[in-house]
């Protein structure tokens, strides 16, 4: 049996001890936090310069160029030593308006002057003795230059892959696989040099076609370039076709939060529709319900044909697009109608031609032809020099030709030759009779 190994990051018991509700508040904190199934429990040891001792995270008032150690207590409930990994990560703002600490400073915003990882140092790996505890020291070195607002981040504690027990299972196909539930603790670290309030601010960076969890969306990228945390943010966004007042898609969010010195996306769901290449217009109204600040943004953006195809090819749940099928059906119907009309015209013309041919005189070799229209007016006067030979003279032939042409021109082109012949013969017979009578 083939074994397929899946490692699923299901922060199934993720203890997040960090500033999640501010002005600078925090969630309720248990003195020692241990997730169900997690072999270790963590507890921050709060120092004397802690702003609020009720906060379950490091909320430190610091001074320029100062240094100190802060401690984290970790307890191991297993009968063997357990290793843990530590990361110091800055605060980021997620697409769903939450603050998270899972990425390092490589992706920091250009406005972030002091990422927390440049101020706080921690060991990367620590071993916790069996059924014992360990105090981990983290060193804080405050920048020499005074800063406003806050520096916000977290210490993230995870276990190495070797410390996890995989749960084996079997798929319907008969293949066995294993699922590993991974755990993480994140304890917030906030540094400030003053309790003076700094207001956050928003600026529009760009608007672009985007995909979130394989779902098409338009992302409006905003930046908070200030060292301030923003709470209770609301966003109302509308997308239009360029030079149109008709709303194509819109979104409305409330209760969002923004981390200091971060850029983030506000999404407009494309409602399972395919992207169409073209130029669009975005309009957004944003508001901070705490400070009363308001922002209005507007921007044109373009989705190229290449970009639309690339995103549509990877999107899931797209509504079927029958546009081209409908257009093809309409074109096909129009062509069919045109063909039917042409056939009717051709049939009518052929029927008319047959009718006219049926009324035309018998060809040469048959009975004497009879013109369809009267062609027996009095022949023009002539004075033959020799009656018996006048029909052979050029003068007679010219008169007969002129008469026959005149009669033929009264008929459609396809009958003129036949009428000409009949008229010429009629004129000749008429003159011959006159000559005989004389």
CATH of the domain at 60: 2.60.40.10
**Of 192, 218, 246, which marks where a domain is finished?**
192
What is the pLDDT, as a whole number, of residue 161?
Answer: 80
Q: Are 150 and 280 found together in one domain?
A: no
What is the pLDDT, as a whole number, of residue 435?
Answer: 79
Instruction: Let me know if residue 136 belongs to a domain.
Output: yes
Q: Are 225 and 356 found together in one domain?
A: no
Domain of 413, in residue numbers: 327-437
Instruction: Let me know if residue 198 belongs to a domain.
Output: no
What is the pLDDT, as a whole number, of residue 69?
Answer: 97
- For each successive 10 residues of the chain (438 residues), what is the average pLDDT? 35 37 32 59 95 88 97 94 96 96 95 97 96 97 96 95 63 58 88 94 98 95 98 98 95 98 97 96 98 97 97 88 73 90 87 68 47 48 52 83 88 86 88 78
Q: Are 103 and 183 found together in one domain?
A: yes
Residues 6, 49 contacting (CB under 8 angstroms)? no
At residue 351, φ and ψ (nearest 5 deg) are -65, -40
Instruction: Strands of 171-270 (E only): list them.
Output: 176-179, 184-192, 203-212, 215-224, 230-241, 247-258, 262-269
Q: Are 39 and 157 found together in one domain?
A: yes
Half-sphere exposure of residue 269: CA atoms within 13 angstroms, side-chain side: 11
Residues 108, 95 contacting (CB under 8 angstroms)? no
For 261-296, what is the HEC assignment? CEEEEEEEECCCCCCCCEEEEEEEEEEECCCCCEEE
Q: Are 355 and 250 found together in one domain?
A: no
What is the pLDDT, as a whole number, of residue 92?
Answer: 97
Q: Are 18 and 140 found together in one domain?
A: yes
Q: Are 246 and 337 found together in one domain?
A: no
Question: Domain total for the chain?
Answer: 3
What is the pLDDT, as a whole number, of residue 376?
Answer: 46
What is the pLDDT, as a whole number, of residue 79?
Answer: 93
Q: Are 97 and 187 found together in one domain?
A: yes
DSSP code, position 260:
T
Report d(CA 266, CA 221) in Å as an integer: 6
**Of 167, 192, 217, which marks where a domain is finished?**
192
Name the one residue in this structure whose structure tokens are 């607002």: 149
Q: In what order do the strands lie in the sheet with 215-224?
A: 203-212, 215-224, 262-269
DSSP code, position 167:
E
Q: Which of 107, 1, 19 is nearest to 55 (CA)?
A: 19
Cα–Cα separations (whole angstroms), residue 195 to 147, 154, 203, 258: 12, 20, 25, 19
Residues with Cβ < 8 Å from 154, sequence gap 6 or more?
Answer: 18, 57, 88, 89, 91, 101, 116, 186, 187, 188, 189
Q: Are 338 and 303 found together in one domain?
A: no
What is the pLDDT, as a whole number, of residue 175?
Answer: 63
Instruction: Let me know if residue 197 belongs to a domain.
Output: no
Instruction: Let me know if residue 225 belongs to a domain.
Output: yes
**Of 286, 320, 354, which marks where a domain is finished?**
320
Residues 371, 426 contacting (CB under 8 angstroms)? yes
Q: Are 215 and 282 found together in one domain?
A: yes
Q: Are 257 and 163 found together in one domain?
A: no
Q: Are 167 and 50 found together in one domain?
A: yes
Instruction: Let me know if residue 357 belongs to a domain.
Output: yes
């Amino acid at each position: 049996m083939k074994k397929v190994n899946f490692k699923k990051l299901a922060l199934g018991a993720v203890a997040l001890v960090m500033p999640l509700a501010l002005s600078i508040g925090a969630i309720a904190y248990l003195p020692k936090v241990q997730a169900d199934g997690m072999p270790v429990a963590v507890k921050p040891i709060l120092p004397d310069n802690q702003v609020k001792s009720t906060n379950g995270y490091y909320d430190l008032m610091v001074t320029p160029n100062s240094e100190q150690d802060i401690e984290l207590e970790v307890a191991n409930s297993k009968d063997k030593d357990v290793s843990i990994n530590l990361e110091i990560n800055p605060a980021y703002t997620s697409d769903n308006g939450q603050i998270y600490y899972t990425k390092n400073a490589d992706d920091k915003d250009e406005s972030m002057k002091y990422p927390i990882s440049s101020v706080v140092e921690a060991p990367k790996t620590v071993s916790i003795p069996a059924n014992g505890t360990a105090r981990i020291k983290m060193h804080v070195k405050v920048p020499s230059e005074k800063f406003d607002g806050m520096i916000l981040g977290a210490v993230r504690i995870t276990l190495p892959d070797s410390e996890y027990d995989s749960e084996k299972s079997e798929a319907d196909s008969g293949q066995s696989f294993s699922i590993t539930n991974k755990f993480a603790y994140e304890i917030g670290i906030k540094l400030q040099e003053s309790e003076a309030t700094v207001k956050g601010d928003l600026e529009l960076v760009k608007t672009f076609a985007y995909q979130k969890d394989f779902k098409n969306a338009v992302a409006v990228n905003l930046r908070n370039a200030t060292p301030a945390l923003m709470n209770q943010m609301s966003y109302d966004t509308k997308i239009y076709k360029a030079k149109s007042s008709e709303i194509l898609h819109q979104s409305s969010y409330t209760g969002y939060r923004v981390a200091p010195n971060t850029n983030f996306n506000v999404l407009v769901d494309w409602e399972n529709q395919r992207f169409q290449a073209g130029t669009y217009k975005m309009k957004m109204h944003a508001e901070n319900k705490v400070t009363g600040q308001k922002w209005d943004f507007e921007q044109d953006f373009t989705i190229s044909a290449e970009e639309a195809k690339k995103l549509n090819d990877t999107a899931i749940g797209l509504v079927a697009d029958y546009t081209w099928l409908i257009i093809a059906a309409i074109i096909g119907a129009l062509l069919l109608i045109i063909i039917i009309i042409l056939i009717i015209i051709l049939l009518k013309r052929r029927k008319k031609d047959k009718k006219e041919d049926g009324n035309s005189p018998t060809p040469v070799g048959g009975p004497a032809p009879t013109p369809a229209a009267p062609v027996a007016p009095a022949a023009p006067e002539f004075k033959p020099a020799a009656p018996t030979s006048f029909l052979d003279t050029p003068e007679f032939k010219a008169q007969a030709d002129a008469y026959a042409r005149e009669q033929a021109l009264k008929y459609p082109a396809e009958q003129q030759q036949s009428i000409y012949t009949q008229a010429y013969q009629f004129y000749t017979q008429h003159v011959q009779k006159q000559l005989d009578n004389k």
